[in-house]
A and B are shown apart, each in its own frame.
Chain A
């Protein structure tokens, strides 16, 4: 496989191709929509084509990306498949792409989830299909760009680029309060990312000479030298690195979302259409934690690892774990419940990242993947039952395992993976995070470990009220079970859940070098700054 990929020069064009394909497909759909015109009949017939083009583009994208699995060299943490072109030379901005083990898995997660998200929208999106699927494709370019970018300016452009399609997806195809949710989502994210822009510009200018330089490596060097400067506020000296770290951290913390910046998430999840929720939970939340791993911590290790900041983030992570679980427990809306469960899961990720051991970081990365798979699957399942009953209220169901046994089996299975049952993917991540974090933060980890109890409580309680108990509402007696398309969506997810639960080693190995490099870089950076301090 490796030889074949080398022979076609796979590494040289793959990242660009992955970025270009969705955009081209989006343009294609848009042109198709323009060509068939506004005639109602033609639109009705033509809108079917939109989803087919999108689906096949996504499938092709996934197939293309799978080559990365084999072409990737797991033994090194260096960037691979790099591609660098000048973009805006006068500002020192380059179009620089490249992946390491962490980005690799995030990209594969994205390309894996997108076809399923498109299939999940198959029948639920009925209006303006052309716009919908082109936005979905543009969103993909943005998300992949975030994971590939090796230039901070490019990263920022991609970061904002994925915000806009998602804003429209929630705002146009969402539920009743879609406008409130979409504006909240947009403004929340924007506030964080503007501060990040300031920090990026500051870094770029500092890294460059006559013209700024935004390339990751140059910025990394410049940031390492930034510890000296700073400002005095309210009589205390605050190093520049702390301010810059906080600017980055706010942008990412909103995205994660970390307690207490999480309240956009439940609204956005509940109002978004199924595919929107899947992408939000499955991929976009990971950008926050990815940002911490790629930018916030490596750029400012001394700030991030200073006792005050580190403890704050660890504590917020643990609060997120428990708070998310407890609030999830009492949600009457199943989508909201899953949204809060995301807060809980991502709390584990934050704990793992800031605990800073190889195991905990690897575990955090595993949870990022697992959460994408399991929560994505949960949202897809909720979407399926919503299409049948048009409600997400838990109390509206009850006993439907009788009428939809296959749905019930899948929902139970996916819930168990979300709870972290050993043998499913959820366990591997949580176990590694807790195991690794225990070495550096034993007490907080012990508290976080009680999250496994609450996780079982909220999800089992919810599925009991949905699937089990007596079938006492007549309207639930005639729900049809999953059809072929829906089974086709779920089968890959189930397979991946089991695979990652039973044999996660290939995934872990591909991330291992990058995770170790991350840990050693950050701890070394923190150590030198301690040595430098008076």
Chain B
């Protein structure tokens, strides 16, 4: 097996090219992590006396302790998710070095990715992935898991997005986080995240992917809880990790099922052997559904979406990188990567699409009523991820990945834009010394006057996500909805039924939900823009003078993302828009990876709709986008809003939406609290302390002691009574012998 791979690799068009260096891709950010991580620790370390007892420390230790307290006082005051406040700013002593190392390793990685991409384009048609096995990771009997990387067109897309968007967000972070005392730690985590993300998309087998999968979860945990002095932030981080673990459990079981039935876990092996599982068999459906549980955890789908909105507790660039552009799309990547499996199970695929559609709708309705600018974007992310899952669910893998890419552009832009807004708001509050919520849209308004660049760029992103023609989101969302519609006839879905409902009806329902969600998307995004940038300003009279545009290091990346958001659609133009440029670039690019699998679900030939229908569909999509924006513009009155502090409490449906349908509360009451209560009351107190330790262990000790005490009480010490017992005993024995 190994030799065969080696032979394949040797004959591969990429052999000997720069692609041989792909191991360096994750290693560069990893080096950044090591450097920044050490920088974050070194100044805090003191070589104290050998006796660590409190109070015995020498002057050096005390100085260090005071230092630390100063830091703690500084950060525990920080609120609303941004590190600077009214104390003297305490910039980290290595901030300069970190500002260089952090983004530089990413830029180097991006440059390498570009070089590999160029090599791939130059290598011509590439039908097999370029696999490199580095070493034997877990040899155990006949199972020999190698640690290897796997480069194909799909990984390449992901790598370019991760390193490209990642570099921009790292640069933005330099401006955004520079004043934070935890600056080196921040960049260490961010670099580590990118390293794990690259392992995730480069991994040649499910376990290697799983290393990245859990690794990005770890970094997400660390970065959400970056300002850990606030309990809410630490809670959010922990919640993200644990909810993700539920998903990881699913992925683990899927891996076990795969290994038990196919005997291999590397992608090449699984893809070639997948057909053995049988089209539509219960086994392959089980594998896919367990795997989808993993995707639902990582990509925040129902029922595991709850962690993502809370994840906004992290610094805003983190939300942009991890919780919008890259990590949360890992689930979509995994399904596209496992398309050979999902294509075997129309039931599981349709389940993915249905869950995606429901999530998209559900999150969009919540997004309608959020006041926190980042939360609007968070729910919008959940909703857009739902769209991607609709795409990969109905077997339109390219459409899903396409939306993944464009979403990475416009959502990163939106988040970074909101970061720029929050930065400005913070600076304003900082200048006047007021404590208020810098993320609440009710405290914003009219910011367009103060932040021209941010305003324009965020409008571009908003139009893109709303689906206004020629912006990137328009093409990708339209391709997904079009694919759903196209699969209602003549495909595997059309002939099956899902939970007793005929496939075509399910698909029409998904399409309807998708269109309706697109309408809602346009509404809530326009609402966010109106409340933030338009109407009168509600920040406060003193603060208003201090509102300003972010520095160039922050607006620069925004500008690049703005261009990408506007023109990202050119990556994969539909035929209808062939007059704009080359058609279906991404389709062709990903054809070797997912093309065959997509065809399996559509019955051998690409799913198609009539030309007229296609025009009508696009017309409908454009119409709902425009209508959505108009509804928001007409119905919403930014002028009537009052700052958060004076705002009345919401009632009725508004309150339900603001509180996210009380799902968090329901989970807490139905799962978390009972688990803890049962563990504490029944298991720890009842079984452990009561039954096992109390009754059995200490009980047997008590029994031995009691028997002893009973026996010793017979020992009166009276010779007379002993004699009596003796005589009675003799009589008893004699009597027994005599009377026998």
**Direct A–B contact present (CB less than 8 angstroms):** yes
Q: Taking beta carbons and an 8 Å cutoff, which residues of A are in contact with B? A: 122-123, 184, 187-188, 260, 262-264, 323, 326-327, 329-331, 357-359, 362-363, 384, 387-389, 399, 401-406, 409, 416, 421-423, 427-428, 431-432, 434-436, 438-439, 442, 445-446, 449-450, 452-453, 456-457, 460-461, 464, 467-471, 477-487, 502-505, 508-509, 512, 515-516
* Given A449-B253, A478-B54, A503-B135; A401-B143 close (CB under 8 Å): no
Contact residues in B for A431 (Cβ distance below 8 Å)? 138, 207, 252
* Inter-chain contacts of B701 with A (CB < 8 A): 187
Given contacts A480-B54, A481-B45, contact A401 B693 (CB under 8 A): no
The answer on a CB contact under 8 Å between A435 and B47 is: no
- Interface code B36-69, partner A: CB below 8 Å = 1, 0 otherwise? 0000110011111111111001000110110011
Shortest Cβ distance from residue B545 to the other chain A in the assembled complex, whole angstroms: 33
Inter-chain contact A477/B65, CB cutoff 8 Å: yes
Residues of B within 8 A of A509 (CB): 139
Kindly state whether residue B675 has any CB partner on chain A within 8 Å: yes
Chain B residue numbers with a CB within 8 Å of A406 are 41, 44-45
Q: A388-B54, A432-B138 are in contact. Are A457 and B242 (CB under 8 A)?
A: yes
| CA distance in complex: A481, B68 (Å) | 10
B608 to chain A: closest CB distance in Å? 42
Please name all residues of chain B whose beta carbon is closer than 8 Å to the beta carbon of A446 when the two chains form the complex.
Answer: 253, 256
Of the listed residues A188, A450, A468, the one surrounded by the most CB atoms of chain B closer than 10 A to its CB is A468
Among B459-467, B621-629, B677-685, the one that faces the other chain is B677-685
B611 within 8 A of A: no
Given known contacts A431-B207, A469-B231, is B50 in contact with A485 (CB within 8 Å)? yes
Min C-beta distance of B717 to chain A, whole Å? 29
In the complex, chain B residues 211-241 whose Cβ is within 8 Å of any chain A Cβ? 211, 213-215, 218, 221, 225, 228-231, 234-235, 237-238, 241
Interfacial chain B residues near A503, Cβ < 8 Å: 135, 137
Interface pair B693/A263, CB less than 8 Å apart: yes
How distant is A324 from chain B, measured CB to nearest CB, in Å?
10
Interface residues of B in 259-309 (CB under 8 A from A): 259-260
Q: Which chain A residue shows the least CB distance to B250? A: A449
Inter-chain pairs besides A388-B54, A428-B138, A434-B252, 7 sampled, C-beta below 8 Å: A262-B692, A399-B228, A422-B215, A445-B256, A469-B234, A483-B50, A484-B47
Q: Is the CB of A477 within 8 A of B72?
A: yes
Write the nearest CB–CB distance from A326 to chain B, whole angstroms.
4
- The 6 tightest CB contacts between A and B, nearest first, are A358-B141, A468-B228, A402-B72, A468-B234, A438-B256, A422-B211
CB proximity of A1 to chain B, nearest CB, Å: 21
Given the known A-B contacts A358-B140, A504-B138, are A464 and B65 also in contact in the complex, defined by CB atoms under 8 Å? no
Query: In the complex, how many angstroms separate the beta carbon of B124 from the nearest chain A beta carbon?
Result: 35
Contact mask for chain B residues 15-54; partner A; CB cutoff 8 A; 1 contact, 0 none: 0000000000000000000000000110011111111111
**Cβ of A386 to closest chain B Cβ, rounded Å:** 10
In whole angstroms, how far apart are the Cα atoms of A457 and B235 in the complex?
A: 11
Q: Is A359's CB under 8 angstroms from B141's CB?
A: yes
Known: A452-B245, A464-B235. A471 touches B76 (CB 8 A): yes
Q: Contact at A480–B64, with CB atoms within 8 Å?
A: yes
- Contact partner of A480 (CB less than 8 A), chosen from B61, B215, B256, is B61
* A421 contacts B214, C-beta separation under 8 Å: yes
Asked if B71 is an interface residue, CB under 8 A from chain A, the answer is: yes
Pair A471/B229 contact, Cβ less than 8 Å: yes
Whether B228 contacts A435 by the Cβ 8 Å rule is no
Q: How far is the CA of A431 from the CA of B248 in the complex (A)?
A: 12
Compute how far the CA of A446 lies from the CA of B252 in the bound complex, rounded to whole angstroms: 9
Query: What residues on A are CB-neighbors of B242 within 8 Å?
Result: 453, 456-457, 460
* Chain B residues whose CB sits within 8 angstroms of the CB of A262 once the complex forms: 692
Given A359-B143, A406-B44, A263:B65 Cβ within 8 A = no
**How far apart sit A267 and B53, CA to CA, in the bound complex (Å)?**
25
B253 engages A480 (CB within 8 Å): no
Check A504/B684 contact, CB under 8 A, given A260-B692, A423-B211, A471-B76.
Answer: no
Instruction: Check B68 against A402 for contact (C-beta < 8 Å).
Output: yes
**Inter-chain contact B679/A384, CB cutoff 8 Å:** no
Which residues of chain B are within 8 angstroms of A502 by Cβ–Cβ distance?
Answer: 137, 147
Residue from B147, B237, B245, B678 within 8 A of A453 (CB atoms): B245
The A-B contact count (CB < 8 A) is 223
A-B contact pairs, 6 of them (CB 8 A): A409-B41, A421-B218, A456-B242, A457-B242, A505-B137, A505-B139
How far is A436 from B41 in the complex, measured between Cα atoms in Å?
A: 40
- Which residues on B sit within 8 Å (CB–CB) of A482? 45, 52
Whether B738 sits at the interface, judged by CB under 8 Å, is no
Given known A326-B675, A405-B41, A450-B249, contact A123–B52 (CB-CB < 8 A): yes
Q: Find out whether the CB atom of B215 lies under 8 angstroms from the CB atom of A423.
A: yes
Query: Contacts A421-B215, A512-B141 hold; do A484 and B210 have CB atoms under 8 A apart?
Result: no
Residues of chain A with a CB closer than 8 A to B44's CB? 405-406, 481
Chain A contacts of B231 at CB under 8 A? 468-470
Interface centre among B142, B252, B257, B693 (most CB of A within 10 A): B252
Cα A457 to Cα B240 in complex, Å, equals 11
B731 CB-CB contact with A under 8 Å: no
Query: Which residues of A sit under 8 angstroms from B214, Cβ to Cβ?
Result: 421-423, 427
Contact B249 A453 (CB under 8 A): yes
Which of B62, B139, B255 sits near A435, CB closer than 8 Å? B255
- Does B596 belong to the interface (CB within 8 Å)? no
Contacts of B48 in A (CB 8 A): 480-481, 483-484
Contact A483 B234 (CB under 8 A): no
Could you say which residues of chain B place their CB within 8 Å of the CB of A329? 675-676, 679
Evaluate contact between B143 and A435: CB separation under 8 angstroms. Answer: yes
Beyond A389-B54, A469-B228, is A416–B218 a contact (Cβ under 8 Å)? yes
- Check if B246 is an interface residue, CB within 8 A of chain A: yes
- For the complex formed, measure the closest distance between the CB of B192 and the CB atoms of chain A, giving whole angstroms: 10
Residues of A within 8 Å of B152, CB to CB, are none
Q: Assuming A406-B41, A480-B46, is B135 touching A505 (CB within 8 A)?
A: yes
Digitize B125-160: 1 where CB-to-A-CB distance is under 8 Å, 0 elsewhere: 000000000011111111100010000000000000
Say if the beta carbon of B664 comes within 8 Å of chain A. Answer: no
Contacts of A464 in B (CB 8 A): 225, 228, 234-235, 237-238
Whether A480 contacts B139 in the complex (CB less than 8 A), given A453-B249, A464-B235, comes out as no
- The verdict on B75 contacting chain A, using a C-beta distance below 8 Å, is yes
The answer to whether the Cβ of B697 comes within 8 Å of any Cβ in the partner chain is: yes
Expressed in whole angstroms, the minimum distance between the Cβ of B101 and any Cβ of chain A is 18
Chain B residues with CB under 8 A of A442: 256, 260
Contact check, B72 vs A399: say whether CB atoms are below 8 A apart: yes
- CB neighbours of A427 from chain B (8 A): 211, 214
- Docked-complex contact A516 and B141, CB < 8 angstroms: yes
Assembled-state Cα–Cα distance A399/B234 (Å): 10
Complex-state Cα separation, A409 to B34, whole angstroms? 13
Which residue of chain A is the closest to B207 with respect to CB atoms? A431
- With a 10 A CB-CB cut-off, give which of A362, A505, A508 has the most chain B CB atoms: A505
Whether a CB of chain A sits under 8 angstroms from the CB of B650 is no
Task: Give B651-700 interface residues, CB cut-off 8 Å to A.
Answer: 675-676, 678-680, 683-684, 687-688, 692-693, 696-697
Q: Which A-chain residue is minimally distant from B685 (CB atoms)? A: A330
Residue of A362, A442, A483, A509 ringed by the most chain B CB atoms within 10 A: A483
Are A122 and B50 closer than 8 Å at their CB atoms? yes
Bound CA span A228–B353, Å = 61
- Cβ A327 vs Cβ B211 within 8 A: no
Q: List the A side residues contacting B137 at CB < 8 Å.
A: 502-505
CA distance A329 to B679 in the complex (A): 7
Minimum CB–CB distance from B154 to chain A (whole Å) comes to 21
